[in-house]
Amino acid sequence: MSYTIKDIAVAAEELKKQFETLEDKKAIRRSPTFRELFSKIKTAEPDKRAQFGAEVNKLKNEVEAWLSELESDNDDRAPIDVTAPFPTNSNPTTRFSLLPTQKGSIHPLMKELETVLGIFARMGFATIESREIDDDYHMFGALNFPEGHPARDDYDTFMTTQKDKKGKQFIAPAHTSTMQNRVLRQFASNLVNDEPIAVVIPGRVFRNEDLDARHEHTFYQLEGVYVGKAVTAGNLIATLKVFLQEYYQQELEVKTQPFYFPFTEPSFEFALSCPFCKKQGCNVCSQTGWIELLGCGMIHPNVLKEAGIDPTIYTGFAWGGGIDRLVMMKYDIEDIRHFESGKLEFLRQFS
Ligand code: DAH
């Protein structure tokens, strides 16, 4: 007696039944039904033997598929992951391999920011992070910008369509000075204890800029606020000079020139001698030997008053400048847009 192709279908039925009842599913491989099928290949009529053998083999593969399906059902992967680029219940060996991974690293701006904050911490400054969404009062009102003042337009500010309780649009802060009123209030008790307020405020800021190698819509600033008794512009200049010399690890010259900000009086633009060419003139400093780095000044009495601090007793200084700029100079980075680009060739240079 020899098996026919039709008998394969019968055997398949039998195997399915056995498979369902078996405790140890893998034992199906040793089923007598299989053994019988294999032994019958030899006795099959010669002209049907090859086809018969192929059918038996197909059945064997089908049974193996039942087993591997079971395996993937049993493992603890989530049964469905619509984001996976393969059926999550498929046999792991049949999944195509994913792209190789590489270790990530800290973004260069954050790495440098840690260095910067470390220097200020050693100088006695506390650190408070700024917000990424703020309001009209902290962006302008608390900083002595009267309603409708043209200086408001200097800060190409992004606003939400949603409004706050006062009917004003929320603001993506265009500078970290939005935090001045908050830190002055938060640390006002220092003054009562005859200690100064000394805080640096790093944060992400946003401006509707025309983008180029030096202008980005999203960048980082570091604000500094120092208030105490008999604080002068000399203290401001010395503080920034010490910081910059420590950051660039070299002696530097600094200078200020008059400027205008509503929240400082007097206000300055602060420049340092070019750390690259030692004032000889190079591309970094546009051949001038000097680099204009940040805005600063003596905190306006109205800003102190607005935070509940008596400007007849206390004075203070503040500054705000781009962190991106500082880092670009340190590493000779030619385009500010690299930072937010996510370009791996750029980022890996700092890993
Ligand atoms: N907020 C100013 C800007 O982004 C920079 C600035 C100037 C900050 C003077 C200050 C300051 O704290 O006192 O343009």
Q: Give 222-260 as a DSSP string.
A: EEEEEEESS--HHHHHHHHHHHHHHHHTS---EEEEEE-
User: Residue 176's domain spans which residues?
Assistant: 108-350
SS3 content of the chain, % helix, strand, coil (to 5): 45, 20, 35
Ligand 1 proximity of 318 Cβ (cutoff 6 Å): yes
Q: Which of 41, 62, 94 is the last residue of a domain?
A: 94
Residues 316 and 339 occupy one common structural domain = yes
- pLDDT per residue of the chain (351 residues) written in tens, 0 to 9: 466 767 888 888 999 899 888 888 889 999 999 888 888 888 888 888 888 888 889 999 999 988 888 776 555 555 677 787 777 777 766 666 666 677 789 999 999 999 999 999 999 999 999 999 999 999 999 999 998 888 888 889 999 999 999 899 999 999 999 999 999 999 999 999 999 999 999 999 999 989 999 899 999 999 999 999 999 999 999 999 999 999 999 999 999 999 999 999 999 999 999 988 889 998 888 899 999 999 999 999 999 999 999 999 999 999 999 999 999 999 999 999 999 999 999 999 998
Q: Which of 155, 319, 325 to mutate to test the pocket of ligand 1 (most atoms within 8 A of CB)?
A: 319
Q: Are 139 and 173 in contact (CB under 8 A)?
A: yes
User: Which domain CATH number covers 129?
Assistant: 3.30.930.10
- Sheet of strand 315-322: strand arrangement: 126-127, 197-206, 218-228, 315-322, 290-299, 264-273, 254-259
Nearest to 138 by CA among 124, 122, 155: 155
Half-sphere exposure of residue 187, counting CA atoms within 13 Å on the CB side? 21
Whether 264 is in the pocket of ligand 1, judged by its Cβ within 6 Å, is yes
Choose among 93, 223, 205, 98: nearest CA to 157. 205
Q: Is 168 exposed, middle or buried (0-12, 13-18, 19+ CB in 10 A)?
A: middle
Whether the CB of 319 sits within 6 Å of ligand 1: yes
pLDDT at residue 141 in the model:
94
Q: How far is the CA of 118 from the centre of ligand 1 (A)?
A: 21
Give the single-character DSSP code of 95. Answer: S
**Last residue of some domain: 71, 94, 117?**
94
Q: Which residues contact 314 (CB under 8 A, 6 or more apart)?
A: 191, 227, 228, 229, 231, 304
Q: Which atom of ligand 1 is nearest to the CA of 205?
A: 4
- Indicate the SS3 state at residue 160: strand
Contact between 147 and 183 under an 8 Å Cβ cutoff? The reply is no
In whole angstroms, give the CA distance from residue 175 to residue 28: 71
Q: Does 261 contact ligand 1 (Cβ within 6 A)? A: yes
CA of 50 to the centre of ligand 1 (A): 87
Please provide the size of the chain in residues: 351
Query: Cβ(173)–Cβ(134) under 8 Å?
Result: yes
The number of the ligand 1 atom at minimal distance from the alpha carbon of 154 is 14
- Residue of 296, 300, 315 to test ligand 1 pocket, by largest number of atoms within 8 Å of CB: 296
pLDDT the model gives residue 272: 95
Contact 315, 230 (CB under 8 A): yes
- C-alpha–C-alpha distance, residues 264 and 268, integer Å: 9
Atom of ligand 1 nearest to the CA of 174: 4
Same structural domain, 163 and 33: no
> For the chain, how many structural domains are there in total?
2
Same-domain check for residues 188 and 303: yes
Locate 314 and state its tokens.
């206390």
177 Cβ below 6 A of ligand 1: yes
Distance (angstroms) between ligand 1 centre and the Cα of 112 equals 21
CB-based contacts of 47, cutoff 8 Å, min separation 6: none
Domain membership of residue 101 (yes or no) is no
165 with 282, same domain: the answer is yes
308 and 199 in a single domain? The answer is yes
pLDDT at 6: 76
Protein residue with its CA nearest to atom 4 in ligand 1: 175
Q: Are residue 127 and residue 90 in the same domain, yes or no?
A: no
Is the separation of the CB atoms in 230 and 298 below 8 Å? no
For 222-245, b where at least 16 C-beta lie within 10 A, e where not — what string?
Answer: bbbbbbbeebebebbbebbbebbb
Establish whether residue 199 lines the binding site of ligand 1, counting it when its CB lies within 6 angstroms of any ligand atom: no
8 A C-beta contact, residue 66 and residue 19: yes
